[in-house]
Amino acid sequence: MTVDLAMTNRFIERAEAKGLVDVAVATMDSPVGTLLLMATPRGLVRIAFDHENRDEVLGDVATRLSPRILDAPRRLDAVRRQLDRYFAGTLRDFDVPLDWSLTGEFARKVLRRTARIPYGSVASYADVAVGVGTPRGYRAVGNALGSNPIPVVVPCHRVVRTGGAIGGYGGGLPRKRWLLALETG
């Protein structure tokens, strides 16, 4: 069975025009593996690495946000362009709208603070804990970072242990090392 690309595009356009797509999905290849990108009308809501089970990621988003999910890559073109530029080393700061719907209040505070860590710099879990007003909450900070639904764009890879040890990363330590190396040249 062949799929008519023009017909598929018309279907997606009609669904979006009628407001039937709550979550648009696209994939992209990157130096750190295939990324699954998801956006709501409010902005980028989820990036999943290829080691995560796509069906589980989609199921989680369907349960927590909406089951009206459709492969609609054009809605994510701006995100993909910025990610391409970031991976090429020519973009330092992302400028895409973010939808924080998959984060709780504390995690959102941690992730917003993390998003302010400059490109090429790192902060410790303790630094971030102090920055969000919970000086002894470095473990809670680690948990919030570990559940970051928008890695790379919200640069949780820039958070390391006190003393400089790399710490953990939801995308795996090889990815964290690669991202840090990209940024520090």
Spell out the domains of the chain, with CATH numbers in brackets.
Answer: 5-87 (3.30.160), 105-184 (1.10.10.10)
**What is the pLDDT tens value at each position of the chain, 185 positions in all?**
566 656 556 656 665 666 666 999 999 999 999 999 999 999 999 999 998 999 999 999 999 999 989 998 999 999 999 999 999 999 999 999 999 999 999 999 999 999 999 999 999 999 999 999 999 999 999 999 999 999 999 999 999 999 889 998 999 999 999 999 999 98
Show the DSSP H helices in the chain as ranges: 5-17, 54-64, 77-87, 105-114, 125-131, 138-146, 173-184
User: Does 49 participate in catalysis according to the annotation?
Assistant: no
**Residue from 104, 115, 101, 105 nearest 39 by CA:** 101
Q: Which of 117, 156, 160, 179 is catalytic?
A: 156
